[in-house]
Structure 1
Amino acid sequence: MADRPHSRAWYARLAHELGGYCHPWARVLDGPDPELTFDALLAERLQPETHVLEAGCGHGPDALRFGGQCARWAAYDWLPELLDLARANAPHAEFSLWDGKGEIPSELLGPFDLIVSRRGPTSVIDHLNVVSAPDARFLYVGPRLDVPRVPERLAAVGWAVLSEWRVSVRAWSPSWDDWQTRCEFMGETANREDWDAHVGARGRAYQEERYVVLAGRD
């Protein structure tokens, strides 16, 4: 029986087979990658003295890419297999095993100037007031135009949405196998009849979407 998508066993298999939490399907975009908004906002907030906490770090690609631009990059994930990869990929960063629930590990108490989550857990919102410095910012990108309850959860802990971006770019999935893989990652059902009805010379068109939010204390 195949592992249930986004289960612990499923993530562990990705770590073993793909070397991390990667999106292993081919795609062609008709415009800029919508996740570049998150990249730009993150990069411009990094200073030599910045302390960053990353929620849901996966195999450490952001720690590798951005961690050398700040004073401290600490991160956590819930899967030991991914953390082993992250420590190998970004040895300059700090990694902790945590699922974002219950007591916060002492090494993650901060305070942090910037808390980030790239398509990772939104549960970190519940802990923002504990881990953040007074003027901290929270930066999140989600895989759909609307991520349920993010603004509401921020308001519940006294944080305000300073800016929001909803970016949608037409994309093409070139093969049935790629479409199946994408749907699995997105929690959607891949229907062969629907594929056959909509596939064209470039493959199956869909919208690549991102919701980006920047928040601070209200």
Structure 2
Amino acid sequence: MPETPHSREWYTRLAHDLGGYGHAWTRVLSGPDPELTFDLTLAGLLTPQTWVLEAGCGHGPDAARFGPQVRQWTAYDFVPALLEQARRNAPQVSLVLWDGKGKRPTALHGSFDLIVSRRGPTSVILRLPELAAPGARFLYVGPRLDVPQVPRRLDSVGWTITSEWRVSVLAHAPTREDWQSRCDSMGEEASREDWAVRATAAGMPYREERYVVLAQPAGMN
């Protein structure tokens, strides 16, 4: 029986099949990756004094890329296989097995200047009051133009969105298998009839979308 998308078993299979957490389908973009907005914003927030917490670190690409630029990069994930890969990819980072919902692990100590989540769990938003240092920021990128629980949860903990971006680019899934994998990941239907009607020589056209949010505690300037 196929794993439920975004379950621990599903992420474990991605870790095995792809060597980490990433798109489980081939995609061909017609322009710049819309996730670059997140990359550029994140890079601009980092200093040698910043304490960072990453929610849902996957196999550790951001920890490996950005971790050396900050004072401390701490990250957590709920998939042991991905954490093992992160330990190899970013050995200087403090890594914790956690789902962001239960009791805060003792290993995840201190407070953080920046909390980030790249297509990761929005549950971390509900923990911001206990995780964030004074004046902290929260940076998130999600896989749709709207992720309603993000502004709703930020409001519930007294945080304010200071900047948000909605970015999309035309993309193609080259094969029907790629399209099926993409729709499974996104929780959408991928019928054979739809492929027969809409697919072109380049594959199935769709919009690769991202919603990027930067937030801080209400009342902060």
- Corresponding residue of 2:19: 19
What amino acid sits opposite 1:30 in the alignment?
A: S
Percentage of matched positions with identical amino acids = 65
Q: Does 1:42 align with 2:42?
A: yes
Q: Does 1:117 align with 2:112?
A: no
User: Contact 2:122–2:149 at 8 Å: present in 1 too?
Assistant: no
Distance in 2 of aligned mates of 1:80 and 1:16: 12
- Corresponding residue of 1:185: 185
What amino acid sits opposite 1:166 in the alignment?
A: R
Residue aligned with 1:104, SS: coil
Q: Which moved more, 1:149-158 or 1:116-125?
A: 149-158
- Corresponding residue of 1:143: 143
Distance in 2 of aligned mates of 1:5 and 1:156: 28
- Equivalent residues in 2 for 1:12-161, closer than 5 Å: 12-161=12-161
What amino acid sits opposite 1:13 in the alignment?
A: R
- Corresponding residue of 2:214: 214
Residue aligned with 1:205, SS: strand
Following superposition, the deviation at residue 65 of structure 1 comes to 1.0
- Corresponding residue of 2:7: 7
Q: Which moved more, 1:6-15 or 1:112-121?
A: 6-15
Give me the CA root mean square deviation.
1.0
Distance in 2 of aligned mates of 1:201 and 1:70: 46
Cα distance per residue 1:44-90 (max 9 Å; x no partner): 11111111000001111110111111010000011111111111110
Residue aligned with 1:189, SS: coil
Residue aligned with 1:212, SS: strand
Distance in 1 of aligned mates of 2:83 and 2:133: 25
Residue aligned with 1:150, SS: helix
Unpaired stretches in structure 2, ≥5 consecutive residues? none
What amino acid sits opposite 1:113 in the alignment?
A: D
Residue aligned with 2:74, SS: strand
Cα distance per residue 1:141-167 (max 9 Å; x no partner): 000011022112111111100011011
Residue aligned with 2:107, SS: helix
Distance in 2 of aligned mates of 1:144 and 1:125: 18
TM-score by length of 1: 0.97
